[in-house]
Amino acid sequence: MQEVWLLHLAACSFLTGLIWVIQWVHYALFDRVGHETWRAYHDAHTKRISMIVVPAMLLELVTVLILVLRPLEGLAAGEAYALGLLTCLIWLSTFAIQVPLHGQLAALQVPSLPRIQKLVLSNWIRTIAWSLKCLLCFQIQWRWQTLGFDRFS
């Protein structure tokens, strides 16, 4: 189970850093892409970022499911459920809001400022959820290390 926790911590940490880059750099600069290059740029962005995001999100999902179904000793049920609920919120936001917005943007020949603004604003859901989840993971890890709790016995 040590491996499951460490993989989850790594995936969550990686995705938290990545979502901040997407929020502050990628999405924030979508409105600066020229009309003549919009479609090619958005298509390339979507394909390339998906190759990074999808495997990490799947790893995070699998490991959180294991942690919820078979919590580690020393991991409170509420902590496991909080990790699971935040993961569900992230996936729900991704597939109910961000993916459809990307689909709308991909269909356009030129960038749509209102849709880009909606993407940037709605992406705060994932940015905040991943940040909270990462803080919770590190709080749990810190507690275990500080208290000397042998969580992997």
In a 13 Å sphere around the CA of 107, the CA atoms on its Cβ side amount to: 7
Question: Does residue 83 lie in a domain region?
Answer: yes
Report yes or no on 111 lying in a domain. yes
Residue 60: inside a domain = yes
The whole-angstrom separation of Cα 124 and Cα 90 is 10
List the chain pLDDT tens, one digit each, 153 residues: 788 999 999 999 999 999 999 999 999 999 999 999 999 999 999 999 999 999 999 999 999 999 999 878 878 889 999 999 999 999 999 999 999 999 999 999 999 999 999 999 999 999 999 999 999 999 999 988 887 765 554
List the one residue out of 24, 42, 17 whose CA is nearest residue 124: 24
Residue at 152 is within a domain:
no
Number of domains in the chain: 1
Residue range(s) defining the domain that contains residue 89:
2-147
The pair of structure tokens assigned to 105 is: 């943007």
pTM of the model: 0.92
Question: CA-to-CA distance for 129 and 121, rounded, in angstroms?
Answer: 14
